[in-house]
Each structure stands twice: as structure tokens, then as C-alpha cells.
Structure 1
Amino acid sequence: MASYRGRPILDDMMEELQALSRLIGGTPLIRLRHLPSEGFEVYLKLEYTNPGGSHKDRVAYYMI
């Protein structure tokens, strides 16, 4: 196994992945208040609050 400064690189990568995983998810939702018809509730996800500013954060995480 390759190492850097005496520590296995894989261990470093796993630590970074775990830190990244704590930033993903929990995207806030807001309720849309003004709708043209009654009887519906529409919620919007605030994707811009994700670390990368989009829905791609979760996709990128699973690609890693």
C-alpha cells in the first residue's frame, strides 16, 4: 500500500470522504405560499445551500 508521511493514503481518503458526507443532505425546504388553486402544498428545495451550490453534490459523493 502506498503511503504519505507514514500514513496510508487510503485512510486519509476515507477521512476526507466521511467529512464530505456530513456536508451532504438536509437541504432546507420552504413552502410556496401563493398558489393559483386551493388544496395543494408545494415545497421547494433550496439547492443553493449545498456545499457545491447544486443537486450535484450528492451525485458526486456517490461517484467517489
Structure 2
Amino acid sequence: MTLGGYRTTVSHPATSSHYDMPRDERLKLGISDGLLRVSVGIENINDLIEDFKNALTVYDV
């Protein structure tokens, strides 16, 4: 993950930015174990939509 990058990134705060915070404290802040953070870059929106559709189909979500 890069701060200030131009590409779209997806992160899992529970195991990245907030990994050292106790679970009960994370939950009080709304950071659940299933939360994903998407930082949208400058890619073409239609490409991003297709990428997310493909990812959700592959993982049957």
C-alpha cells in the first residue's frame, strides 16, 4: 500500500493499519473484521468496475 499513489488500492484495516489495536476498540470505531478500505486512483472508472465485478465473481461474493 502506498500513501499518495495514483493506483487504486484495497486494504484490510484489521490486519494492516489497525492490526495492533485490540479488537473491541476497533469495533467501537466501526472497524470490523470484514471491513475493506478502497482508495480509488486515477484508473478508468469502467476498468475499475469490471475489476471489482470480476473479483466478486471469482470469490463468489
TM surpasses 0.5: no
Q: Which structure has the higher relative contact order (CA within 8 Å, separation 6+)?
A: 2
TM-score normalised over the length of structure 2: 0.22
Structure with larger Rg: 1
TM-score normalised over the length of structure 1: 0.22
